[in-house]
C-alpha cells in the first residue's frame, strides 16, 4: 500500500483526484489495470507494450514507478495538491515523487483567489 495519498484539484474544472504516493501494490498484482481504472491511457498503452515485450515481468518495474508517473501527469494537466490524507512528512512525499518541494494549495477557491462564478439571479415569482 502507498504510504500516503495526495488529494489534487483542477482549478478550471474543480475535479478532484486522489494520487497514491509510494509503491503501487495494485500495479504489482494487477499490472496495467490501475492505469485503466484511473483513466490514464498514456501509461496504460506504455505498460501494455512493455508487458508484451517482457512477458508480464514489467509489472514489477512499474510497481515502483507508476504512482510517481501518475502524479506528474496530473500536475502537467494543471492539478494542484490540496491535501494529504495520511499526513506523511512533506519532505518524504516530495522525495518519493521526485520533486524538490511540495506545495499545498487551499481547497477553497476563495482562499486561492480564483474567480468563482455563481448564479446570483433570483428566481422569478410565479
Three-state helix/strand/coil letters over 32-101:
CHHHHHHCCHHHHHHHHHHHHHHCCCHHHHHHHHHHHHHHHHHHHCCCEEEEECCCCCHHHHHHHHCCCC
- Total of domains in the chain: 1
On whether residue 74 sits in a domain, the answer given is yes
pLDDT at 87: 76
* Average pLDDT for 95-119: 61
On whether residue 105 sits in a domain, the answer given is no
pLDDT at 62: 93
Q: Which domain holds residue 33?
A: 4-97
On whether residue 76 sits in a domain, the answer given is yes
On whether residue 110 sits in a domain, the answer given is no
Those residues whose C-beta lies under 8 Å from the C-beta of residue 77, and which sit 6 or more positions away, are: 10
* Model confidence pLDDT, tens digit, residues 18-65: 989 889 999 999 988 999 999 999 999 999 999 999 998 888 899 999
On whether residue 21 sits in a domain, the answer given is yes
pLDDT at 104 over 50: yes
pLDDT at 4: 83
* Average pLDDT for 104-125: 54
Amino acid at each position: 500500500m502507498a504510504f500516503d495519498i495526495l488529494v489534487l484539484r483542477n482549478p478550471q474544472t474543480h475535479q478532484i483526484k486522489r494520487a497514491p504516493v509510494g509503491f503501487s501494490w495494485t500495479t504489482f498484482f494487477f499490472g496495467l489495470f490501475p492505469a485503466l481504472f484511473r483513466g490514464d491511457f498514456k501509461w496504460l498503452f506504455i505498460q501494455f507494450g512493455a508487458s508484451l515485450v517482457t512477458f508480464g515481468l514489467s509489472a514489477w518495474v512499474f510497481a515502483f514507478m507508476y504512482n510517481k508517473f501518475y502524479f506528474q501527469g496530473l500536475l502537467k494537466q494543471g492539478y494542484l495538491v490540496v491535501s494529504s490524507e495520511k499526513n506523511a512528512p512533506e519532505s518524504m512525499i516530495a522525495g518519493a515523487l521526485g520533486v524538490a518541494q511540495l506545495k499545498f494549495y487551499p481547497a477553497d477557491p476563495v482562499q486561492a483567489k480564483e474567480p468563482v462564478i455563481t448564479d446570483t439571479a433570483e428566481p422569478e415569482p410565479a
